[in-house]
Each structure stands twice: as C-alpha cells, then as structure tokens.
C-alpha cells in the first residue's frame, strides 16, 4: 500500500506538467477547432535553444529557463503565422497538415543545431526532497506541482475574469458574432498562441529539468502526452485537461512500478481507448459532445 500511495504522489506531480500540455492543446482546439500538431515540436525546439546555450555559452540554469520559454514562444508565433493565420479558418485539414509539415521542419532545425542523439539538460535542484512519514517528495516534483497549480489558477482567472478571456471565449463560441461585437478574432488567436506557447515552454522545462536530458524526439513525446491527457479529460475542457494530465501521470507511474517501463506508454494508450469507447467526450467533456449532437439534430 505504501508503494501504491507513493506512486500516486509521484504520478500527480508528474501529471501536473501533463495537464499544462493538455491545456495548451485544449485552448487552441477550443478557440479554432483545429489541432496544432507543431505544439510539441515548438516546445522541443525551445528546449534545444536552452540546451545549446547551456552547452556552448555555459549559460546559468536560470538563463536556460528564460531561453527555453522565449524560444518556445517565438517558435509558436512562427507556427501560428505560417499554419493558421495564412490559411482560411474553414480549411481545417489544410492547417493541420501544414502544422505536421512544420513539425518535420522544426525537428530538422533542432538536429542541425545539435546533431547528437541525447544532450544533458540542467536540473532544477542538485538533489534533495522532503520526507513525510514513509513517503518521499522530490524537490523538482514539488516545484513542478506548485508552478502547475499557480499557472492553472492564473489561466482560469485570465479566461474568466478578464476582457481578453471574455473575447477568447466569444471567438471560441462564434467568431462571426464576436466580430460584430468589436472583437478582432485574428488578434485574439495570435495572443492565444502566445499564451499557449508560454504554457508549453514552462511545462517542457519542468519535464526536462526532472529528466535532465533532451532528444529530438521530445517533440513527439510531448505531443502524445498532451493529446492523450486532453482526450482523457475531455476535448475543450480546461478542468478536464488538468484531470486528464493527473490521471495519465498516475497510470504511468503505477504501470512502470508494477509492470515495468516497457508497458508504461502502452497502458496510457489502452486507458485512452477505453475512455473514448465508453465515454467519447472524455471524463469531463461529455456535456460538450452532447451539446454539439443536440445542435446538429436541431439543424
């Protein structure tokens, strides 16, 4: 039982970062009804900027944080301008395919920047943690959980207590109606991408600072984790994204402990399949699916 609870604790702390990734996918999907497949590679390229500065310029860990997040935001702006702003809103497939093509482009840039397979990434803390009875809390996990909680609270306040959040939700419901109310959808989407890239840069740094290594495949890994967490929680639901990330983290840690690392990813895919079959809208997104079905029947 002690091992089970310890795994749940570790899973919640790792899942907090997964939740941030899922929020990034959820915001873009909720506003534009499109999947940004370059979200993960954008985070990866930002991390490579930070790693390059760490290895070649001997940058301090705090500088790596700034460079990683800034690089992710700049890359996110590049993706938005190329794949979403330049393509009509109704061309959903075209924008998704173009984001996949940019994914390949970003991976090539990362490989040219650092041609090796694996590179070290500076850790958050040298070592240490907190013992609470038989349970151990790693310092980097506690930091990840604290930062994730603060960011989730800040995101909810931004979305539901500010004019920008109101405009963003208006564009999500109906871009044409929002335009008649004086909202510029293109500008809102642009700032939404900056927000999403900022969230992704923070989440990517937290994950890499815990693992202390980065590879060109980190973008693929982040994409899978974010999409699975979003679909588990419910597409279009911010709260669902957080819950999905926590559930994914717990599933992975429990599977890794009891079945081994080889079954870690397989268990996540299996649970996602079960959720999509039994509850297609996810844990908290079933209401969204039901509203869409009702609207379709009315039409």
Distance, in Å, from the CA atom of 195 to the CA atom of 145, rounded to the nearest integer, reads 19
pTM for the model: 0.89
Per-residue pLDDT band at 294 (split at 50, 70, 90) = low
Phi, psi of 234 (to 5 degrees): 125, 120
Q: Assess whether pLDDT exceeds 70 at residue 296.
A: no
Domain boundary assignment for the chain: 2-121+138-216
User: How buried is 1 (Cβ within 10 angstroms: 0-12 exposed, 13-18 middle, 19+ buried)?
Assistant: exposed
Helix, strand and coil in the chain, % to nearest 5: 75, 5, 20
Distance, in Å, from the CA atom of 273 to the CA atom of 275, rounded to the nearest integer, reads 6
Distance, in Å, from the CA atom of 64 to the CA atom of 83, rounded to the nearest integer, reads 28
Q: Assess whether pLDDT exceeds 60 at residue 268.
A: yes
User: How buried is 110 (Cβ within 10 angstroms: 0-12 exposed, 13-18 middle, 19+ buried)?
Assistant: buried
User: Could you tell me which residue, 218 or 298, shows the higher pLDDT?
Assistant: 218
């Amino acid at each position: 039982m002690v091992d089970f609870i310890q795994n749940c604790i570790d899973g919640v702390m790792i899942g907090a970062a997964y939740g941030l990734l899922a929020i990034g996918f959820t915001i873009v999907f909720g506003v534009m009804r499109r999947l940004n497949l370059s979200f993960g590679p954008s985070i990866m390229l930002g991390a490579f900027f930070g790693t390059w500065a760490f290895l070649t310029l001997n940058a301090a860990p705090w500088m790596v944080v700034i460079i990683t997040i800034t690089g992710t935001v700049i890359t996110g702006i590049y993706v938005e301008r190329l794949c979403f702003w330049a393509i009509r809103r109704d061309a959903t497939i075209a924008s998704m395919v173009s984001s996949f093509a940019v994914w390949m482009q970003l991976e090539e840039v990362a490989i040219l920047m650092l041609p090796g397979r694996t590179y070290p990434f500076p850790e958050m803390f040298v070592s240490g943690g907190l013992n609470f009875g038989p349970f151990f809390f790693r310092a980097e996990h506690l930091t990840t959980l604290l930062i994730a909680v603060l960011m989730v609270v800040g995101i909810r306040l931004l979305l539901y207590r500010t004019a920008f959040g109101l405009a963003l939700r208006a564009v999500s419901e109906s871009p044409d109606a929002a335009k008649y109310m004086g909202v510029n959808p293109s500008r809102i989407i642009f700032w939404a991408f900056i927000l999403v890239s900022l969230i992704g840069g923070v989440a990517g740094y937290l994950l890499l600072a815990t693992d202390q290594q980065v590879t060109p495949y980190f973008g693929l890994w982040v994409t899978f984790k974010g999409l699975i967490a979003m679909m588990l929680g419910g597409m279009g639901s911010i709260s669902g994204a957080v819950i999905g990330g926590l559930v994914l983290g717990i599933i992975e840690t429990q599977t890794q402990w009891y079945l081994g690392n080889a079954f870690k990813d397989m268990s996540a895919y299996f649970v996602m399949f079960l959720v999509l079959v039994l509850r297609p809208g996810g844990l908290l997104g079933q209401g969204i699916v039901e509203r869409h079905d009702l609207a379709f029947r009315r039409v």
